[in-house]
Amino acid sequence: MKEKIEQLKAAAAEALKNASSKEDLEALRIKYLGKKGELTGLLKQLGSVAPEERPKIGQLVNEAKSKIETAINENRDKIARAAKELKLAGEAVDITMPAKEKKVGVLHPLNRVLDDMIDIFKSMGFDVVDGPEVETDHYNFECLNVPADHPARDMQDTFYLADKLLLRTQTSAAQIRTMETRKPPIRVICPGRVFRADEVDATHSPVFHQIEGLVVDKGITMCDLKGVLEQFAREIYGKDTEVRFRPSFFPFTEPSVEVDVTCSECGGKGCRVCKGSGWIEILGAGMVHPNVLRCCGIDPDEYSGFAFGIGLDRLTTTKYKISDIRLLFENDKRFLEQFD
């Protein structure tokens, strides 16, 4: 019997050496210590042992049992530790590895120029207002002193959505909405998209951007207009920039002007960008027509004002020397990435 116990212990120790997983250990536990296991089997044979030997043999069996038990438990811990270490090794972070580059988006060139413009006008006390892209004939034309049969309507090929409902052809519509809701003194700019049924080419797009400006107060003159636009041009293009007014016509201003700045590329000498003239046209402007003020309930005998409309796309293409306006709308990443 003693021998059997020793053999069993040796066999169990040997088997344990080869156990490499939790499942192996559980099988061993059942084999040796389970209800139908080998040690239990031995205990059952205790009856055949001489009575005086029984306590001794019983003790030996119990000792063997606890020894095997301890060995199995220790082995289980060892296997668990090894598994944990393996897992940690797999998850280890190599802090010497170079970091992955994070790609951050950049502002669209139009937004860059617009942000600059908003800063400049805000510094001169202007508010930024918004207007709807779907407008009525009243705001886009009628109240801007462009009655139904006025030839100026032909200058702007309009997308009509329904009778008297259209996609605004000019941010000037926002002038009217502003004067309807605010009392003078008024000083606002309204940036936004405008729409015209134009053929697409290098300088034309059916969707483009304008920034409307409007100032209404007592005693506003053309000098104020010139001062504001000069300040604006010098901040955008540089302090040596000259501004010139050329007489023009817009139904909603009287007198009306077109405004040029000295070409920022050649400084006025003449180059490819300014087509040799030394000047670049950037906006239309003028003194708000009395009919427009009257339409908005403002007395033209008491108040006067100036307005201007700047083409944002043109400003952006000249500033960044972009040769084709379509690049601004195609959203080709290779183009946009250059404005980092």
| 28 or 285: CB nearest ligand DAH | 285
Q: How far is the CB of 231 from ligand DAH (least distance, A)?
A: 17
Alpha carbon distance 186, 305 (integer Å): 9
Sequence-distant (≥ 6) Cβ neighbours of residue 56 within 8 angstroms: none
Give, as one character, the DSSP assignment of residue 49.
S
Least Cα distance to 177 among 131, 126, 125, 145 occurs for 131
What burial letters (b/e) apply to 198-214, b meaning 16+ CB within 10 Å? eeeeeeebebbbbbbbb
Q: In angstroms, rounded to a whole number, what is the distance separating the alpha carbons of residues 160 and 146?
A: 16
Range 160-174 burial, b when 16+ CB lie within 10 A, else e: eeeeeebbbbbbbbb
Using the minimum distance from each CB to ligand DAH, give the nearer residue, 60 or 211. Answer: 211
Least Å distance, CB 99 to ligand DAH, is: 49
- Name the residue nearer to ligand DAH (CB basis): 170 or 318: 170
Pairing of strands 243-250, 253-262: antiparallel
Compare residues 172 and 178 and give the one whose CB is closer to ligand DAH.
Answer: 172
Minimum gap (Å) between residue 288 Cβ and ligand DAH: 7
**What does 176-210 look like in DSSP terms, one character per residue?**
HHHHHH-PSSEEEEEEEEEE--PPPBTTB-SEEEE
Nearer to ligand DAH, 75 or 256 (CB): 256
CA nearest 170: which of 192, 152, 150?
192
To which residue do tokens 């940036």 refer?
Answer: 191
Residues near ligand DAH (CB under 6 A) = 170, 172, 212, 250, 253, 284-286, 307-309
What CA–CA distance (Å, rounded) separates 116 from 152?
A: 32
Query: Residue 277 Cβ, how far from ligand DAH at the closest point, in Å?
Result: 20
Taking the least distance from each CB to ligand DAH, the nearer of 229 and 263 is 229
**Do residues 2 and 58 touch, judged by C-beta distance below 8 A?**
no
Minimum distance, C-beta of residue 297 to ligand DAH, in the bound complex (Å): 19
C-beta nearest to ligand DAH: residue: 309
In terms of CB distance, is 120 or 307 closer to ligand DAH? 307
Cis peptide before 109 (omega within 30 of 0): no
Instruction: Quote the CA–CA distance of 111 and 135 in Å, as a whole number.
Output: 23
**CB closer to ligand DAH, 40 vs 156:** 156
Q: How far is the CB of 117 from ligand DAH (least distance, A)?
A: 15
